[in-house]
Amino acid sequence: MQQFPCPFCGLRDEREFHFAGEAGKTRPDTTKEISDADWTAYLYYCTNAKGPSREIWVHTTCQEYFAMTRDTVSMEVLSTEALNEDAA
Amino acid sequence: MTRHYSALSLLREGLKGHTGWAPLWRSPAPKDTYDVVIVGGGGHGLATAYYLAKNHGVTNVAVIEKGWLGGGNTGRNTTVIRSNYFYPESTALYDLSVRLYEGLSRDINYNVMFSQRGMMVLAHSDAEMEMAARTVNAMQLGGADAELLGAKEVQKKAPVLNFRNDARYPIHGAIFQGRGGTGRHDAVAWGYARAADRLGIDIIQNCEVTGFLIEGGVCKGVETTQGLIRAGSVGVATAGHSSVLAKMGGYKLPLHSYALQAFVTEAIKPFMDTVAFSPMTGSYFSQSDKGGLVIGGGLDRVPSYGQRGNMPMQETVLAGIIDMAPALAKVKLLRHWAGIVDVSPDSSPLIGPSGTEGIYINCGWGTGGFKAIPAGGYLFAHLLANGAHHDISRPFDPGRFNTGHLIDEAAGSGIAH
Ligand SMILES: Cc1cc2nc3c(=O)[nH]c(=O)nc-3n(C[C@H](O)[C@H](O)[C@H](O)COP(=O)(O)OP(=O)(O)OC[C@H]3O[C@@H](n4cnc5c(N)ncnc54)[C@H](O)[C@@H]3O)c2cc1C
Ligand SMILES: [Zn+2]
């Protein structure tokens, strides 16, 4: 099995992790009028990059969400960081 | 040169030592301009070319393939053909495909070995039996054949399955589609290629599309490793690589790419003459004509383009097979491989305009597009020839993600998405 590094727990078995989505997607501001196209883009559309991809993952064991940059061809993990207020 | 297959041509060629067969398709150099360029020489691309010529008289067409024909998912799937879906839109689409498959070998004069041995989707609890009855009703209403089998009837059709009292997933019954079965995947690609070639279509292999020629926001052709090729319109049918093409063409897609794995065992004596699928264990298998068991399961857990699959899903699928048929525990695996499939949010395909004028898409077939090759090609050809949808493809337009008219087959189709 591959191991992924959780920024809080260190290297753990890949089965403890869940892919949550691509990084950099901001939920539309629901206090304002939102077009169908904006909702569609947020809910469904994605880059689905071949190669390095910046993503949000959750370590289901500690329940922390974090950012992971991963090569989607080689499956190599390039970096992981905790999500804090600075790194959105 | 002999180009038509018949008992007579076989006999004649046999007497001549099989020296007179013509190649199945030509390998022409690309022309400067075509009416339609199709990117992707998998089953969907090749079938589209064939139906463009046959149904619409559009023959100035090129199919451009970066590798070899059927070298993508079309040549690496588990070959199950069925139309046991839940929603009427899906039944219309997949049953059109099964009907086209039924006449395909004759239509293209090439034996695609469609074997209608039937497909069973097992139910393992009373609650699952109720859902199975609901699916059977939905299929019958949609015009597809379906029967609800009880445990005894399943046992009669497939005594090798696990009917022990202590089975982890006891078999209560199954949805049975008798017209379902398997086909020969390479033959589907080669047969359509040969038939399209005979109608004048240029099939260009070892030619990768590296970009689109966009003039004033409109696509006018493709850039390839063999130079620029102009086109009246471009159809893209590149399965797991659809998002890579979208990036080049300036449009976006609601797709994730995943590896999907398959396995084949050593050849054994006749073991089971139907297709058995257990949604509970996430595994299915059938026996190939050569005797090997062809085994498949769900998607890998992690989106990827790494065409090798990963361990957690191998364990899940193989454990599921042994749950289903414990007698297989000692049978050896011969080979194992993965293909990259493109999965949409509602597990239904995308057929329609891409968002960039002049480019049309046929993608998002995910884990189940082999069964759909004839219909996918038929409907995509209609779209490319007329610039407008056929009634059966209209619900699958990507615009459904804007309007909310999703066709959420993740639950209905019984596929482990
Ligand atoms: C393991 C596995 C099991 C499956 N089992 C089943 C099953 O039992 N039943 C079923 O119905 N479906 C099944 N499927 C799904 C099915 O195989 C696919 O949905 C179907 O083959 C898709 O056909 P296609 O023609 O769209 O794509 P493909 O056959 O993948 O063809 C796309 C082609 O595009 C080419 N291409 C990509 N990029 C470029 C470029 N830039 N330039 C030129 N060419 C390019 C590729 O080389 C490829 O040949 C399975 C898939 C896998 C991987
Ligand atoms: Zn953790």
Q: What is the pLDDT of residues B268-279, one digit of tens each?
A: 999 999 999 999
B150 reaches A (C-beta below 8 A): no
- Cβ distance B304 to A45 less than 8 Å, yes or no, reads no
**pLDDT, position B417:** 47
Q: Where do we find the tokens 């979208």?
A: B246
Q: Is residue A31 part of a domain?
A: no
Q: What is the pLDDT of residue B410?
A: 72
Task: Answer yes or no: is A25 within a domain.
Answer: no
DSSP state of B357: B
Ligand 1 centre from B378 Cα, in Å?
17
Residue B307's closest chain A neighbor by CA?
A: A73
Is the ipTM above a cut-off of 0.90?
yes
Is A66 a domain residue?
yes
Question: What ranges in B142-184 are assigned the alpha helix state H?
Answer: 151-157
All CATH 3.30.9.10 domain ranges in chain B, comma separated: 119-178+257-342
Can you tell me the distance from the alpha carbon of B324 to that of B169, in angstroms, rounded to the nearest whole number?
A: 8
Task: For residue B341, report the distance from its CA to the centre of ligand 2, in Å.
Answer: 30
Domain count, chain A: 1
Q: Which residue's entry shows tokens 């753990």?
A: A12
* Contact flag B312-A1 (C-beta cutoff 8 Å): yes
Phi, psi of B24 (to 5 degrees): -70, -30
The terminus-to-terminus CA distance of chain A in angstroms comes to 30
CA–CA dist B148, B13 (Å, integer):
48
In which domain, by residue range, is A88 found?
46-88
Query: Is there a domain that residue A77 lies in?
Result: yes
Q: Which residues contact B223 (CB under 8 A, 6 or more apart)?
A: B209, B210, B211, B212, B213
- Residue B304 exposed, middle or buried by CB count within 10 Å (0-12, 13-18, 19+): buried
Is A88 a domain residue? yes
CATH topology of domain B119-178+257-342: D-Amino Acid Oxidase; Chain A, domain 2 (3.30.9)
The answer as to whether A29 is a domain residue is no
pLDDT band at A85 (very low <50, low <70, confident <90, very high): low
Confidence of residue A88 (pLDDT cuts 50, 70, 90): very low
Say whether residue B302 is in contact with chain A using an 8 A CB cutoff: yes
Q: Do the chains contact at B402 and A37, CB–CB below 8 Å?
A: yes
Question: Whose C-alpha lies nearest to ligand 1, atom 53?
Answer: B339
CATH number of B30-83+85-110+185-255+346-412: 3.50.50.60
Verify whether the Cβ–Cβ distance B243 to A48 is below 8 Å. Answer: yes
Query: Which residues of A fall within a CB distance of 8 Å from B301?
Result: 14-15, 18-19
> Which residues of chain B neighbour A43 with C-beta distances below 8 Å?
345, 401
From the list A1, A45, A50, which residue is nearest B252 (CB)?
A45
- Residue B244 has phi, psi (to 5 degrees) of -65, -40
Q: Per-10-residue mean pLDDT for chain B, 417 residues long? A: 89 93 95 98 98 98 97 96 94 97 98 97 96 95 96 97 93 97 97 98 98 98 98 98 98 97 97 95 94 95 88 94 96 96 96 98 97 98 98 98 91 54
Q: Cα separation of A65 and A86, whole Å?
A: 15
DSSP letters, B122-141, are: EE-SHHHHHHHHHHHHHHHH
B93 to each of A50, B80, B295, B369, B409, how far by Cα in Å? 30, 16, 25, 11, 13
